[in-house]
Amino acid sequence: MVEHVIEQDMIAHLIEKAIQAREASYSPYSNYQVGAALLTEGGEIFTGCNIENAAYSPTNCAERTAFFKAVSEGKRKFSAIAIVGGTKNEEITQYAYPCGVCRQVMMEFCDPQTFQIIVAKSKNEYEIKTLLQLLPDGFGAANLS
Ligand code: THU
């Protein structure tokens, strides 16, 4: 666990939003439902769910759905994301850490040292890591400048 730079109330709020967003998950192939709630530096929240596809590879993760919604609305600075994932109609027993592709998308728009990734089973059961912890030595825009 890292030091909580996001207030407790906001953590609970983001988790609640991620749980709600998960309800829209379109995942008929895996039955694994994921919801995410992304907090901008300005305090706005963009939610997302995973969206699967019969051809499999076009599937989009919940985290990227949230990021792409936000970026397409002109937002580029983010402080935190809450993620909730688990099999449909089952109790959530594991933390759904973001996949490698989603970590790389986070790397594009977030400061690895400060961006907080909140993985939750419920409003009271969660872990928080920075992007740096989940993607050490990540490749980003700075490498191309
Ligand atoms: N999934 C996410 O939404 N986020 C992740 O970080 C990992 C995986 C989705 C993709 C797919 O619809 C389902 O979970 C099973 O992989």
CA distance 83 to 27: 16
pTM of the model: 0.96
Q: Kindly report the protein residue whose alpha carbon is nearest to atom 8 of ligand 1.
A: 61
| Pocket-testing residue among 30, 50, 81, 95, ligand 1, by greatest number of atoms within 8 A of Cβ | 50
Cα(145) to centroid of ligand 1, in Å?
32
How high is the pLDDT of residue 1?
A: 47
How high is the pLDDT of residue 5?
A: 76
Does residue 12 register a pLDDT over 90? yes
Does residue 2 register a pLDDT over 60? no
Q: Kindly report the protein residue whose alpha carbon is nearest to atom 9 of ligand 1.
A: 61
Cα 117 versus chain centre, distance:
7
Average the pLDDT over 119-144 and give the result.
97
Does residue 67 register a pLDDT over 60? yes
Indicate if ligand 1 lies below 6 Å from the C-beta of 101: no
Strands 116-120 and 78-87: parallel
Q: Kindly report the protein residue whose alpha carbon is nearest to atom 14 of ligand 1.
A: 32
CA distance 39 to 67: 10
CA distance 16 to 52: 23
Per the model's pLDDT, the better-predicted residue between 4 and 100 turns out to be 100
Does residue 3 register a pLDDT over 80? no
Active-site annotation holder among 63, 73, 90, 108: 63
